[in-house]
Structure 1
Amino acid sequence: MDTLRLMHLFTRAVDLGSLSAVAREAGSTQPTVSKAINALEAHLGVRLLERSTTGLLATAEGLRFHERARRLLDEYEDALADVRGHARQAEGLLRVNAPVALGQFHLNALAREFLALHPDIEIELILNDRFVDLVGDSVDVAVRLGGPLPPDAVARTIAASPRALVAAPSYLAQHARIERPDDLGRYEFIRFAWLPAGDEIELHRGAESMTVTTRGRYRVNNALAIRDSLLAGAGVGLCPHWLVHDLVQAGQLVRVLPAWSGTPQQVALVYPSRRYQPARARLFMDFLAQRIGALPGLTAAIDR
């Protein structure tokens, strides 16, 4: 039994969600691929895939095996390249997770640029504002914006974005002038939901720091919704520059208490805490480390 071949067909079936697609890719037929995966299931003594008229769905055992099989196949290919004395051409599927706003504004374009440089790599970019299970969701690289990091992961900080208090001119025109940080408690404050600090924000002016308790009736777990709400004149917000720099430049939002700023938002690449990372993941992380810090509203980390 060619176990490595069977493992490859199975991992591609999970990646593509179709036995027919795997057959086309392998230059084979759908019945042949199905027979091969059946043989692998018989060898392992577990069902890996649930088949239906609408497609394929990996079982719980299949998901666990898929993660480890992908890693084993990547290590095998790199070992072959090493013993032959040449670098392996990066290839295969790369699963990337990122926040919605950063993905829409920047990562979507960067992913396409990366694909143009590496024609044998595929990217599945999943955008959401929740912390995913890197291993359970088979994520190779996740982009994190501040906040606590998963305990079962390795993080690489690549950039930071200053944070400033901003509001629409229309909102400020309807309220008394904000002269000091303590005044913020009298204004509607729009913030991200589920923040560990709740309504408290930390502001800095040079070496001076202070914590302010804000007040707001609207909290939302999406940065784009915060941006739109501030633009509509719903209140004041503390936002990273990458999210609002264009609106500030256009005068659609203005700085509030410009001498004060929030703690910079760190941008980190997070990946599962395992010894081996496939070549495609290493390439993509190096690419993002070079590019993200040069984007508007972001600065490269001093120590990557």
Structure 2
Amino acid sequence: MGMNDYQALLQEMAAFVRVADSGSFSSAARQLGTTPSAVSKQISRLEKAMGVRLLERTTRKLRLSESGVEACRRCRQMVEAARSVMDVGGQFCSEPQGLLRVSVPKAVGHRVLHPHIPAFLERYPKLDVQLLLDDGHVDLIGGNIDLAIRITDRPPPGLAGRPLMHVDHVVCASPDYLARRGAPSHPRDLARHDCIYLGEDVNDNRWKFMRGDEATMVTVRGRYAANHSGIRLDAALKGIGVGSLPGFAAREALADGRLVQLLPDWTFLASYYGTAWMLYSPSRFPSPKLRVFIDHLLDCLKGCAGAAGIEVG
């Protein structure tokens, strides 16, 4: 295969990555601004040129074949290399500019990042920021994401990362609720309380706690569940029950006495407990817009995490 043949298949390779990430021709077509049949033809051309089947098609879904897994890994490298080429111009700009796409969990985006965005925009007038609030998995390359913030103790391999802040989780209630129902002295006492929990998963009402070497789990119940920390905060303030909240969401209400933290000598091991990591594609020359945004966040949230860069994976 000659050089011209390789070049003719670059779009097909990029389309293949989109299909692999989205799991369907129709979803990839929406992202690429084309039709599912056109994407299907691109994949067929790539398979014919390579002489292997990249996707195993069933009536319900697509999945990568063994050869497709390896081909997708290399096509990702090509897509990332193309993004790096486009960033070259930014290396020589006198000031950062362009669009910065940041994926962040909903509560962190609302209560931690958003308050610091206005000052960033004022400081860098040629930069635009798009916050994508999403608690799920995100693909940086396929989703064209510059920076993802995720709470995890095991950052995914193949990405560069820096710790942003520690995220704890607390259980708390209003003074009015505690006057009526009393305060628990041990996590197992929560089984007798009305609890406000996440409610996204069948295990969300199984609260885990740790104190030193002692670990315990209690199945809680309540009449209200909500997958938004702001709603759980408001419900706790209204005395509906004992709320489970990220520490940053409850901090102001705890400081002014509208809420009282319960079981402070226990660590509540919730899904939002751990380290918030800033994750991005590894590169010898990160784009100026990414560098200044990371520095801005670290400066605004200094004291919450170490500032040393860490390569993960």
Task: Give the shorter-chain TM-score range.
Answer: 0.5 to 0.7
Equivalent residue runs for 1:136-285 within 5 Å: 136-146=142-152, 149-150=155-156, 153-194=159-200, 198-205=204-211, 207-217=212-222, 218-263=224-269, 265-273=274-282, 277-285=286-294
2:107–2:229 CA contact under 8 A, matched in 1 = yes
Identify which of 82, 86, 93 aligns with 1:73: 86
1:164–1:260 CA contact under 8 A, matched in 2 = no
1:230-270 per-residue CA deviation (whole Å, 9 max, x = no partner) reads 22222223333211111112222112123323355422112
How far is 1:280 from its partner?
1.0
Q: 2-side partners of 1:198 and 1:57: how far apart?
A: 33
- Which SS does the other structure have where 2:301 is aligned? helix
1:165–1:238 CA contact under 8 A, matched in 2 = yes
After superposition, the Cα gap between the structure-2 partners of 1:292 and 1:195, relative to the gap in structure 1 and judged at 3 Å, is farther
Superposition CA RMSD, Å: 3.6
Partner AA of 2:276 in structure 1: V
How far is 1:302 from its partner?
7.2
How far is 1:77 from its partner?
4.7
After superposition, the Cα gap between the structure-2 partners of 1:69 and 1:277, relative to the gap in structure 1 and judged at 3 Å, is same
Q: 2-side partners of 1:188 and 1:118: how far apart?
A: 47
How far is 1:208 from its partner?
4.3
Match of 1:117 in 2: 123
How far is 1:166 from its partner?
0.5
Partner AA of 1:261 in structure 2: T
- Which SS does the other structure have where 2:286 is aligned? coil
1:199-254 per-residue CA deviation (whole Å, 9 max, x = no partner) reads 3433344x343222231344432221221222222222333321111111222211
Partner AA of 1:210 in structure 2: A
- Which SS does the other structure have where 1:233 is aligned? coil
1:34-90 per-residue CA deviation (whole Å, 9 max, x = no partner) reads xxxxxxxx99778x9xxxxxxx974377xx998764431213553xx4xxxxx8532
How far is 1:107 from its partner?
1.6
Match of 2:305 in 1: 300
Q: 1-side partners of 2:198 and 2:187: how far apart?
A: 19
Partner AA of 1:300 in structure 2: A
Match of 1:288 in 2: 297
After superposition, the Cα gap between the structure-2 partners of 1:236 and 1:112, relative to the gap in structure 1 and judged at 3 Å, is same
- Which SS does the other structure have where 2:144 is aligned? coil
Q: 2-side partners of 1:259 and 1:119: how far apart?
A: 46
After superposition, the Cα gap between the structure-2 partners of 1:68 and 1:123, relative to the gap in structure 1 and judged at 3 Å, is farther
Q: TM-score, normalised by structure 2?
A: 0.64
Unaligned runs of 5+ in 2: 1-7, 16-29, 40-75
Match of 2:68 in 1: none
Match of 1:29 in 2: none
Partner AA of 1:119 in structure 2: P
Match of 2:134 in 1: 128
1:160–1:301 CA contact under 8 A, matched in 2 = no
